[in-house]
Amino acid sequence: MSVATRLKRSRGLWVLLLPTLLWIGLLFVLPHIKLFLLSFMDRRSGAFTLANYANFFQKSLYLHVFVRTTTFSIVTTLLTLLVSFPAAFIITKVLGRKMKALALIAIVLPYWVSELIQAFTWMILLRETGVLSYLLQALGITRHNIEFLYHNGTIILGLVYTSLLFMTIPIINSLDTLDDSLIEASYDLGGNFWSTMREIIIPHAAPGIMVGSIMVFMLNLGNYVTVTLLGGKNSLWFTENIYNQFIVRFNQNQGAAFGVILLTFSVAFVWIVLKITGQDLTEAM
């Protein structure tokens, strides 16, 4: 291949990549650089300061909310995995072709509407005058309206529901590549369901589990709509602190510091988990 041909192909490749690079640069890289710089500026003078970060550690409320958000995100990720893995296994290894297609449609269809609409749907079901409260009264279980909203369990329920797709699809993609003959061989060699699951199925699905867990954890950690609508004032989610600093208090510097802390922690947490589990994110993706 001549040098001229290589240069032409190289130029053609850069032309194709240019829109993507511009998109990433303008909407991701530059805003994050601006956010990082704002976090080290004093609100009034614009001088360099670490006070915005110091406030996070000095005020126990901020630290408490951050720990709560992280804990709930981890719990929600685990619960989503417990729901998604059996569903993915049944879809890939139990259902026939037609039923598999219907099951995939049933999983994907609710996500054709926005997260806001999904949250409003849960509010209609769970509010004090909602469908569930009315049903319990109609069945004679209770005589009074019951408020199911604004509880920790409600927040977790909403987060699990909005996260199912992002956990299930990666696991399905991993299990689709698992040869059924390996499962049959395990049973022929005396293995049972649990040993086959532990030794063959779960290790093969590990990349999908890791990708899905990372996506769900990141989405939950930075969630705002679902936790605010379903949790109300009791949600105590860290993204609400960021929103309040930017929108309510007009303190962009403090809000930027909170945003950098959240982003840095999420990346560091995922990196540590990958190291502990021995997974390679590049290969998994």
pLDDT digits (tens, 9 = 90+) for 47-100: 999 999 999 999 899 999 999 999 999 999 999 999 999 999 999 998 888 899
Amino acid, res. 253: N
Q: How confident is the model at residue 278 (pLDDT cuts 50, 70, 90)?
A: confident
Under 8 Å between Cβ of 180 and 93: yes
**CA distances in angstroms from 250 to 43, 58, 245, 247, 256, listed in the order given:** 10, 21, 6, 5, 11
pLDDT (0 to 100) of residue 35: 93
Does 1 have pLDDT greater than 60? Answer: no
**pLDDT in the model for residue 285:** 54
The label of the residue with tokens 């959240």 reads: 262
Cα distances (angstroms) measured from residue 18 to each of 10, 21, 36: 12, 5, 25
1 vs 151: which has the higher pLDDT: 151
pLDDT of residue 3: 57
Q: Tell me: the pLDDT tens digits for 86-108?
A: 999 999 998 888 899 999 898 88
**pLDDT-based confidence at residue 13 (cuts at 50, 70, 90):** confident
Instruction: Please give the Cα distance from 257 to 238 (Å, whole number).
Output: 12
- Please give the residue that has the higher pLDDT: either 131 or 14: 131
Rounded Cα–Cα distance for residues 223 and 233 (Å): 15
Q: Tell me, what's the pLDDT at 47? A: 92
- pLDDT digit string (tens) for 154-180? 999 999 999 999 999 999 999 999 988
Whole-Å CA distances, 112 to 88, 91, 115, 158, 184: 20, 20, 9, 16, 37
Per-residue model confidence as pLDDT tens digits over 236-273: 899 999 999 999 999 999 999 999 999 999 989 888 88
pLDDT for 192-219, tens place per residue? 888 999 999 999 999 999 999 999 999 9
Dist. CA 99–CA 84, nearest whole Å:
17
Domains defined along the chain, listed by start: 52-284 (1.10.3720.10)
- To the nearest 10°, report the CA torsion of 146, 150, 152, 158: 100
Closest by CA position to 228, among listed 120, 112, 132, 145: 120
Averaged pLDDT of the chain: 89
